[in-house]
């Protein structure tokens, strides 16, 4: 009889974990659309003719302490983010990342934060965060995207 109680408790715990995970991913939200409400294609992103901020990706100030960071992921870099072009945002600001892909599925994850989303060609992934601590945060692609997937990364500098 006690075994049944423990089994029940274990199942409840497992269901609870799954619910927590599902809730986390719902919070991320993968949007289908661009700023103007239309869908953008990976080809348009490749060619830089989406007619959106993705044609010249980077950090845009949208209000007091509010920033939107447009990031294009492609094999095997983030623009901005990779190499000598880190994402730079102020500490304490509300930062919304809008990320799309110019080719295949990538991941977008900022180390030591809960920023973690898939980046899907033809879609815009949106995730918001606030960095309270200044510093350099690692940025990694956590979805296999090709031969140099393991080299795809960058940084977010919070100043």
Tokens representing residue 95 in the block? 């930062």
Q: Under the phi-then-psi rule, with left for phi > 0, alpha for psi from -120 to 50, and beta for the rest, what region is 11?
A: alpha
**From residue 62 to residue 101, what is the string marking binding to ligand CUA with x (rule CB under 6 A)?**
--------------x-------------------------
Measured in residues, the chain has a length of 159
Cβ closer to ligand CUA: 67 or 154? 154
Which residue in 29, 34, 27 sits closest to 122, CA to CA?
A: 34
Q: Given the rule CB under 6 A, which of 79-87, 89-97, 120-128, 140-148 is the region that contacts ligand CUA?
A: 140-148
Of 38 and 146, which CB lies nearer to ligand CUA in the complex structure?
A: 146
CA distance 33 to 53: 13
Residue 143 binding ligand CUA, by CB under 6 A: yes
In the complex, which residues of this chain contact ligand CUA (CB under 6 A)?
A: 76, 106-107, 141, 143-145, 149, 152
């Amino acid at each position: 009889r006690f075994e049944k109680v423990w089994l029940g408790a274990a199942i409840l715990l497992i269901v609870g974990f799954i619910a927590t995970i599902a809730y986390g991913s719902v919070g991320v939200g993968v949007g289908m659309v661009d700023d103007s409400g239309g869908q953008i294609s990976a080809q348009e992103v490749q060619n830089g003719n989406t007619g959106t901020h993705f044609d010249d990706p980077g950090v845009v100030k949208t209000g007091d302490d509010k920033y939107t960071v447009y990031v294009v992921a492609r094999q095997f870099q983030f623009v901005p983010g990779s190499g000598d072009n880190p994402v730079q945002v102020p500490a304490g600001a509300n930062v919304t990342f809008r990320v799309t892909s110019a080719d295949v599925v990538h991941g977008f994850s900022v180390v030591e934060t809960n920023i973690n989303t898939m980046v899907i060609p033809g879609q815009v992934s949106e995730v918001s965060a606030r960095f309270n601590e200044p510093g350099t945060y690692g940025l990694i692609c956590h979805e296999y995207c090709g031969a140099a997937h393991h080299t795809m990364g960058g940084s977010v500098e919070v100043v």
